[in-house]
Amino acid sequence: MSTPVETRERPRTTGAATQLRAPHTLAAQTALRTRAVVLAGGSGTRLWPLSRKHFPKQLVDVLGAGSLLQMTVRRLRKLADVELALDESPIIVCGAEHRAVSAQQLEQLGTRARFIIEPSGRNTAPALSLAALHALEDGGDAVLVVMPADHLIGDVAAFQRAVAAATRHAERGAIVTLGIRPTRAETGYGYIEPGDDVDGSARKIARFVEKPPIEVARSYLASGKHFWNSGIFVLRASVWLSTLQQMQPETYSACSAAYEAGEDSAAGYKPNEELFASVPSDSIDYAVMENLVRGGDVEGIVVPLEAEWSDLGSWDSVWDVLGKDEHGNVASGRVLMEDTTDSYVRAESRLVTCVGVSDVVVVETADAVLVVDRSRVQDVKRIVGRIAEQQGPEVDAHRKVQRPWGCYDSIDKGERFQVKHIVVEAGAQLSLQLHHHRAEHWIVVRGTALVTRGEEQFLLGENQSTYIPLGVKHRLENPGKVPLELIEVQSGAYLGEDDIVRFEDVYGRAN
């Protein structure tokens, strides 16, 4: 069982951020540490209804090989095979609402990570800046291998070779990105025009264009010269921060101030919420990469990544990377197709059948069904926006919600009542909490429950029940070795999940 989270004041540093030297004065070092940084924010609305605000695509098993976050961490482990001095503990930058489940997924892999918890989403440049500030404070300068948590790379050996080559250039002070050979005219990616050869394994960046119009993207594809920017960067922590300080001083100052005023806990490091809200929202590409070729002391380098790559940004890209049957179809779950071609059909909770259709995507979950032409999958986010305007709950969470202690499924709901099926894993516990607007009835159907109710603490076995009055502190624990299952009946004027006041929580979620 996890130990309670203790919030502690972070010891003040001597100002690692403010003592940065200009990039051109940074002497190359030998045996620099290599630290992985995984950017695990974002919601992935184009993979709705599987991806939701509180359970985004990096936490979802989209490809049947574990979550995309887990696939990313497994890939990083293999960098040890190319003799990189990779720190065993990656830095994961994510939002507070995703931290607990992310940690749980990494624990399933036996990986311990250092979490940087963003108080709010401010895009990738601030996220990388927080990780770089932490790396400098935690043992001095390091080469950071920075990547999103939700990409697919088919050839891991090619990835290893590309990162090893990029690291050599990063050690001497360059900012390196991995480039992908375009396979289509894509307006959603950044494009890199390479310049002079460096050492046979890399090229200088002559020009960087972020998300060009379709006509320009088609000309880049036809030229055969350009790369897609993969979103994977290799650079020294000190170089990133000093470059950001030169190019985006407002972002640098705001990030540094928020980091310095933050708090550390067993859950991770959280920058000051009020100060972080003032950080400009900007991507790595816009903040720095486009400016590298316009002068300055830092060299921009692109290293080709000769491997299958996808950012899995839409259902069409998921269909594209998965194996297909003789009719070009991809099926997941209980699916039957008749006279159907070139389609992706996914069933999560019930039978889905398709007859006489082609080039469609069908995704079924317990509370929503998506049907879309494969040529229109980029427009899924428009539907998600309309659901949000109607305040539909399907944007935020699934009917079955994963929690670090287990899960719950909202099996029925009406005016002033809600019924949930709750599963608490062996040895796990919920937070000590209370509700201002609802009371709860618990009925144990499997296992043993240890219940805290006010000043009382008692055990419940199968077929036993208890009542939690409105406004009373309570906690549910599973002291046994098998999952605890119970039915919870909520009653009250308001049944929203935000009616929770947490006093103690082993997963760092206490108010």
Closest to 503 in 3D by CA, of 99, 5, 101, 8: 5
pLDDT of residue 280: 93
Asked if the domains at 29-310 and 405-504 fall in one CATH topology, the answer is: no
Distance from C-alpha of 28 to C-alpha of 66, rounded to nearest angstrom = 39
| Model confidence, pTM | 0.84
pLDDT of residue 89: 86
**Helix, strand, coil abundance in the chain, percent, nearest 5:** 25, 35, 40
pLDDT digits (tens), the chain, 511 positions? 333 333 334 444 434 444 454 443 344 445 688 899 999 987 768 899 999 988 999 999 999 889 999 999 999 888 766 666 677 789 999 998 898 889 989 989 998 899 999 998 899 999 999 999 999 998 889 999 999 999 999 898 999 999 999 999 999 999 999 999 998 888 878 899 998 888 888 999 998 887 888 999 999 999 889 999 899 999 999 999 999 999 999 999 999 999 999 999 888 999 999 999 999 999 998 888 888 877 667 889 999 999 999 988 899 999 999 999 999 999 999 999 999 999 999 999 999 999 999 999 999 999 999 999 999 998 999 999 999 999 998 998 888 888 889 999 999 999 999 999 999 999 999 999 999 999 999 999 999 999 999 999 999 999 999 999 999 999 999 999 999 999 999 999 999 888 999 999 888 776 6
What letter represents residue 358's amino acid?
A: S
b/e per residue 321-338 (b: at least 16 CB within 10 A): eeeeeeeebbbbeebebe
Q: CATH 2.60.120.10: does it fit domain 405-504?
A: yes
* Matching CATH number, 29-310, of 3.30.70.20, 3.20.20.480, 3.90.550.10, 3.90.400.10: 3.90.550.10
- H or E stretch covering 241: helix 237-247
pLDDT of residue 85: 64
Tokens for 205, please give them.
């960046």
Closest to 113 in 3D by CA, of 90, 132, 131, 96: 90
pLDDT of residue 176: 96
Q: How many CB atoms are located within 10 Å of the residue 501 CB?
A: 14
What letter represents residue 134's amino acid?
A: H
Domain spans, the chain: 29-310, 315-389, 405-504
Question: By the 8 A CB rule, do 502 and 473 touch?
Answer: no
Distance from C-alpha of 44 to C-alpha of 161, rounded to nearest angstrom = 29
pLDDT of residue 3: 36
Facing residues of 413 across strands?
418
What letter represents residue 117's amino acid?
A: I
Q: How many CB atoms are located within 10 Å of the residue 508 CB?
A: 24
pLDDT of residue 18: 42
Say how many Å lie between the first and final Cα of the chain, rounded.
Answer: 21
pLDDT of residue 7: 37
